[in-house]
Structure 1
């Protein structure tokens, strides 16, 4: 299983100690504002178990995210094949952080790490990200990562009920565009 490290974050396997904060995150209406509903503790635990099973099986997926300096669990980020039934295929990058982690650049930092992994290790030609049309914070992260949106790709999520969570947007980035958007280390 791959563990990803950035300057401030570790993206790693899920631990039993993550379950309480993960469930609290998924019970927070603000964190879940762009999802159909908040999750019960049981559904949160089941999702973490599924994420860990995917990591164990294929070596990548939705990693738990912790702050390296403190070891605090702050959410999840990773890559996953697009669900069947969507009007496109590919591998999706995503992130979800607890409210106390918002506004610190963690989503962008974790997103950059998963893009690096997807392009360098998995050799993916393209990675996409999907969110509701109203999730402007997540779309801002996608733009900071160098991802672009073609309004022709916008769609109504077939898994969402009618309402404001149904209109969705797709952002994409190719391996070449990511390479040109990634800062070169200073070697002086």
Structure 2
């Protein structure tokens, strides 16, 4: 089982017990407002998300991690890697993303988990490049991307929802752990 420990977090594969806390995170409009169409997700949709993430682990050797606080064992959210389907500017490339419950915002957990995931991608999985997108208005994600050393590479538009996006990338030669 793939696990990564940081000073405060455990990044691990998904467990059955994660469904309820992740469903609670997905039910929060503040968390979901910058993901997809911005709609909250049902427990069934959350179960489908976890299943899809686990399938990607099996097929690609990477995926979305469950982010657990080491001190309390609470599920803080998800961070990880996926093969991007859209927008066209990054389609087929490996993208990093995250979502944390609102009570975990502003404490550096997203940056800590994303840094460990980026290191996993470039050093452990041997990927040459990782990309990311964020909505232009999402300054919190911009801060995380800057801390990761990812470089803004241009803009794109979400082909399904029409949101303006900033596109970021980093390759192995630019990465400094």
TM-score range, shorter chain: over 0.9
2:40 is aligned with 1:38: yes
| Map of 2:137 onto structure 1 | 134
Q: Max radius of gyration: which structure?
A: 1
Which runs of 5 or more structure 2 residues have no equivalent in the other structure?
Answer: none
Counterparts of 2:74 and 2:47, CA distance in 1: 18
1:55 Cα deviation from its structure 2 partner: 2.0
| Cα deviation 1:90-143 (Å, max 9, x = unaligned) | 110111100011011010011111111111122212111111111111111000
TM-score under structure 1 length normalisation? 0.87
Counterparts of 1:85 and 1:15, CA distance in 2: 30
SS in 2 for 1:154: strand
| Map of 2:125 onto structure 1 | 122
Counterparts of 1:57 and 1:71, CA distance in 2: 28
Counterparts of 1:120 and 1:14, CA distance in 2: 22
- Give the 5 Å matches for 1:161-180: 162=162, 166-179=163-176
Q: Aligned residues, how many?
A: 174
TM-score under structure 2 length normalisation? 0.92
1:24 Cα deviation from its structure 2 partner: 0.9
| Map of 2:116 onto structure 1 | 113
Contact 1:2 1:59 in 2 (8 A): no
Root-mean-square deviation (CA, aligned residues, Å) is 1.4
Contact 1:64 1:73 in 2 (8 A): yes
Q: 1:3 to 1:168 in 2, by over 3 A?
A: same
Counterparts of 1:72 and 1:146, CA distance in 2: 28
| Map of 2:97 onto structure 1 | 94
| Cα deviation 1:18-71 (Å, max 9, x = unaligned) | 111111111100001113111111101110121122223433100111011111
Large movers: runs of 4+ above 6 Å: none
